[in-house]
Amino acid sequence: MEFSGRSALITGASRGIGRAIAVEFSSAGAELALLGRDRAALEETRAACLEVHPTGKIEIVVADVTQPDASAKAVETALERFGRLDFAIANAGQAVDGLILRLRHADVDRLIDVNLKSAMYLAEVAAKPMLRQRGGSIVFVSSIVALVGNAGQSIYAATKAGLLGLTKSLAKELGSRGVRVNAVAPGYIETAMTTAMPEAAKAQYLNTIPLGRPGRPQDVSGVVRFLCSDAAAYVTGQTLVVDGGLVTY
């Protein structure tokens, strides 16, 4: 699962799962374009990547993923700097919890923009060079709530579920040219997003996880690496659950 000579574009790369994916791919030898709004945090991600791959090529693109031209700018940067684009990981995400009767319309619009539309914008522009290359991999970072739902997270769950439909549809659209599209559905992962959860909610999750611990961002990044690698050359249109056994089917 080595990525020397290949390049990756990662959205939401400034912290958490996005940063872990960037470091994972850098350790595999990939050249990276990191997209996010916080330059200082992206610079921290770049530094973490250079720790594992001191000679790595890493470009930072500061932009708002909810704007269609943000992903286009990042893809253009990757192509100019690296000459190709092999992997696109749509990791940018946001959560606003609340019962449906109390949600503000502005929050609904924001979650749709960040969690779903930004992924569509990325896929639209990343697919073009991949189709020309007759190869590439797109991965959407969804959530376990997309599969099972969660009270108080109806809009978040809906946007993350939308990514799963997008995954299946694009896998069928792009597969004939060698472009694979998959998703990961993380469970309870220790990130800034879950740190803000009430302690009672954290305890409830931990008591129902068979592996007995919360997930780490690196638990997700390794699965994303697999999905982009040649080891998953015959895997497309799938959602891999990374939740420590929290949900079983």
Tell the burial category of 102 from Cβ atoms under 10 Å away from its Cβ (0-12, 13-18, 19+): exposed
- Alpha-carbon gap, residue 156 to 153, rounded angstroms: 5
Residue labelled with tokens 């959560």: 95
Phi, psi of 81 (to 5 degrees): -85, -40
Task: Tell me phi and psi for residue 185, to 5 degrees.
Answer: -125, 90
User: Cβ-count burial of 73 within 10 angstroms (0-12 exposed, 13-18 middle, 19+ buried)?
Assistant: middle
From the candidates 156, 188, 234, 249, which is the catalytic residue?
156
Separation of alpha carbons 24 and 31, rounded Å: 11
Question: Active site includes 188?
Answer: no
Please identify which residue in the block is written with the tokens 């690698």. 229
For residues 133 and 121, give the distance between their C-alpha atoms in angstroms, rounded to a whole number: 20
Reduce the secondary structure of 43-62 to three states and give it as a string.
HHHHHHHHHHCCCCCEEEEE
Element (H, E) at 22: helix 16-27
Please state whether beta strands 7-11 and 87-90 pair in parallel, antiparallel, or not at all (unpaired): parallel
Structural contact between residues 185 and 241, judged by C-beta atoms closer than 8 angstroms: yes
Q: Just list the catalytic residues.
A: 156
